[in-house]
Chains A and B, each alone.
Chain A
Amino acid sequence: MTLQQRLYAARTYFDGGMGTLLQKAGLPAGTLPENWNLSHPKVLEEIHLSYMNAGANVITSNTFGANTLKLDNLDEIIPAAYDNLARAKSRFSGDKDSVYLAFDVGPLGKMLRPLGDFPFEDAVAVFADSIRIAAQCGFDLILVETMSDLYETKAAVLAAKETCDLPIIVTNAYDESGHLLTGADVPAVVATLEGLGVTALGANCSLGPQQMKGIAAQYVQCASLPVVINPNAGLPKIADGVTAFDVDQEAFSDIMREIAALGVHALGGCCGTTPDFIRRTVEKTRDLPFKAPEEKHDTVVASYTHTVSLAGMPKIIGERINPTGKPKLKDALRRHDLRYLVREGIAQQDAGAHILDVNVGLGEIDETAVLQETVEELQSVLDLPLQIDTVRPAALEAALRVYNGKPLINSVNAKEESLQTVLPLCKKYGGVLIALTIGEDGIPDTAAGRTALAKRIIDRATQVGIDKKDIVVDPLCMAVSSDDNAAKVTLDSIRMIRETLGVRTCLGVSNVSFALPERADINAVFLSMAIQSGLSCAIMNPCAADMMRAFRVAAMVHGFDPHCENYISFALSHPHAASAAAPAAAKAGDEPTDLPPLMYAIVKGLQQQAADEAKRLLVSENPIALIDSQIIPALNKVGEAFEKSKIFLPQLLMSAEAASAAFREVSDKLPQTDGKKEQIILATVEGDIHDIGKNIVKVLLQSYGYDVIDLGKDVKPEAVVAAARKTGATLVGLSALMTTTLDAMAKTVALLKKELPHVRTMVGGAVLTQEYADLIGASGYAKDAMGSVKLAKRFFPEG
């Protein structure tokens, strides 16, 4: 029986802890246990054999940390680890066919970007190096375990998929709240890993069996695959001289019986458990009937923290990150201003979007690189699932690789070329696929025709192993102005596809009103009718109040809004113009002032008011004049007050942000050529992670209208030079807080002078002095954040 067959036919048992047993056998603290595969093969063989004798089926190699970051002789260690298992198996007198040898893969001990510094593809490569050797040895499966980060888990699974054909089993390490260290909950992990096509999944380590019961129940509830639960022997506790755990084998196996009764398919142990723990678990669960895994039918996408189900209440897919018809977004893409895209994303999340569409298709940019970077940027600050929207297979694959979760994929259609390129990518990386009802002859003009195309796509997808639940059909809507029946056919299609094919649907609703007056009215009514017809998700602009009103009302009247909560909170925050009594103007009057309203808003740090006021003034005033006559003078006023200690840093920063908000309005009005801002590179030097001061400088410089390129903290001299070369920036600001990093500061200045003699440098930070700045040859010394603004003004007299 293969392992896959067994996991569906009978309860399977995994082995238990390794570390405790090795320590008992004399492994000195601080020694890498993997080295014992070579130096103490007999010890390993005995441990493996004792687990087989205890009744474990899956026996794991002693290779938890066997990767190139920790060891350089993997080509000796991994085969030796396999041999230790194989010798034990050959000595095992029981049923050898029910013993499976697992290559154990643990975490790398590195945090991936953006939280840490380790690149995702490097993680894939490091895992692949180990698994490639293992694949030559004869292992029966790859066991990826103790993973506390979803992103690293994905890297390991991708590496395994790309280097071997062995079954992959993954167990993750959760904390007491049922989340991975980096935030994913059980459903998000399950959705992502099932999408990636693992063989079985579950949890291990960090918790004892009692604390893991809830997690086990969640797995059984949402996973379609076999579930594996390998807890610790409770929590570590004080015991003279050695680490001990607080659950003994009897208590452990009693709780494991309860866990088996929840419907868990495979049981084993982790830290602190021994062959006796496994033996007692096998004995106590033997009589419990086995229940094979149950297929789940919910359609689910996931971010790196949570899932969004496309069943139940209709979902909003925010459509604003898409250059079509959006000049500002096009411009941001051309300038590579991904911050603009992130702001669009955050605004949509705040407005109620459940999922964000991401489309950066623009002729003149490298879509593959930009789409990948945009996905990484968005998922570093936003926890919504993304819908990756591109017609280019290379861009789609690049984005799917780095996406942390289970995305929506927009889209495949019924044309042969599309089916052949998109389906394999969806199968490899996992995702929920939007299927457009477009065939070789275009879009059929009947509901039956569109349903037939949808069926063709579903059939082809299931042939390559994509589950029907992971297909969402978009029956498309043409403009009702060009075809009287356009909207009706779409509504009929939604109903027919849902009823005859049993899949979810989605629709971009705003196309219906093309070329007609008062489009918002049409879109809102059409959206309500589409929801009435059973639409699962609407691709729309959640920041448009009319659309959101229609959505909230439709969701409420269809019973998807318990206690009308969503509707009420929306309605209260979005009163109709008639019922909203002019509130804004009165606000500024709480304090007498001689200042014009814009300057007042900046001085007081009122962001929204500064933006509104700038917008109002720009109707009549020249943008440049507005900067010179109000924004900069207001900032100078604040800066002066700060220097005299009349106001404090937070006020200074709030004012800076208010000025930036006003500045954004102004720069929208500036002609493109005039809009080119002076660029300044900022970095905290290598070896220094103190970046509070650098970030203060950044906020202030931005408020004065400079384009700040922030390289972050702990930046190598070479990286600073490379950035200056790439951007053409002529001013570099460097910060250091520790005396130990002054050397790095000197090196960076020296390298800049050597490589790019025209670039000027300004330096600052707690330990810097004018004397030291002169000594290392910096062009200027900023004693504080305002000082850096003064220097920048000196270096860019026009700015």
Chain B
Amino acid sequence: MSGLILLTGTVDEITVNRREALRYLGYRGRQADDGIDALFDRAHSALAACAAPKACYRAYELTAQGDTLQFGELRLQSASLKKNLQGCRRLFLFAATLGAGVDRLLLRLQKTEPAFALVFDAYCSAAVEGWCNLVNGKLAEGRTLRPRFSPGYGDVPLSVQPQILSMLDATRKLGITLTDTLFMTPCKSVTAFVGIEGQGPRA
């Protein structure tokens, strides 16, 4: 286990994939048009005014026995994560969030401008992915990484979330909490495992 690293960022550093946001809005392959681009521009300014992107990560040694993976104090049975991490001896555990200001604005927009609220919601979902990509980019310096893998993918249950947040001290450091059904608040938050290929330099 390495030390816990904290990162903060700004919305303007984040590359937001608008195609991704369109997908959340159900565009299913249709082309975007000027109208939606103008709405995304507005969503971007609104996001920049309310978001506080934060992330934290820590590297762990990884051991595997059968489908059981062990890193730090987390023991996890998962065929799909094992496949994702095949050949990795270390991994990063990370959490990222855009902050509670986004939730606050979303609540207000849903009551005042429901249509724009939807566009904003979709844009923020794409933005938190963009923020994760940015953090991922920093992790990848001098290493080869596997694709990000989050609880809820494949056979990794959401029930690992409490332990992940505790290992990263994410409630205290990032303000991420869980609902009774294990969803994260602030809503635009992500936790993930990222495999480190080969030996790599120490994190």
Contacts and interface: CB of A to CB of B under 8 A. Distances in A.
Do these two chains really belong together in a complex? yes
Interface of A: 28-30, 107, 109-111, 114-118, 146, 148, 173, 175-177, 181-183, 205-206, 235-244, 339, 342-343, 346, 380-382, 645, 648-651, 653-654, 656-657, 686-687, 689, 692-693, 695-696, 698-699, 702, 714, 784
Interface string B1-26: 11111101000000000000000111
A176 B6 CA distance: 13
Contacts of B185: 111, 115-117
Interface in B151-203: 163, 166-167, 171-173, 175, 177-181, 183, 185-187, 202-203
Contacts, number: 144
10 contacts: A111-B185, A115-B107, A206-B172, A235-B6, A645-B30, A649-B25, A649-B118, A650-B36, A686-B181, A702-B114
Interface residue SS majority, chain A: loop
A146 B172 contact: yes
A699 B2 contact: no
Contacts of B32: 648
Nearest to B163: A30
Interface in B95-132: 99-101, 103-104, 107-108, 110-115, 117-119, 121-122
B181 A692 contact: no
B6 A236 contact: yes
B39 interface: yes
Contact of A241 (B1, B112, B173, B177): B1
A695 B52 contact: no
A699 B114 contact: yes
Among A239, A381, A686, find the residue whose CB has the most chain B CB atoms closer than 10 A: A381
Interface string B72-115: 11100000000000000000000000011101100110111111
B35 interface: yes
B141 interface: no
Contact of A653 (B5, B8, B114, B173): B114
Contact of A692 (B52, B103, B121): B121
Given A30-B74, A107-B172, A650-B36, 6 more contacts: A109-B171, A117-B181, A183-B100, A238-B3, A238-B5, A650-B25
A689 B183 contact: yes
A380 B111 CA distance: 10
CB-CB nearest 9 A-B residue pairs: A30-B73, A653-B115, A381-B108, A181-B175, A111-B185, A116-B185, A117-B179, A111-B177, A243-B3
A176 B8 CA distance: 10
A648 B36 contact: yes
A114 B74 CA distance: 31
Nearest to B73: A30
A611 to B, nearest CB: 14
B172 A205 contact: yes
Given A29-B1, A236-B5, A714 B183 contact: yes
A687 B181 contact: yes
A115 B110 CA distance: 13
Nearest to A28: B73
A236 B111 CA distance: 40
A699 B173 CA distance: 37
B167 A29 contact: yes
A651 B183 CA distance: 31
A702 B110 CA distance: 13
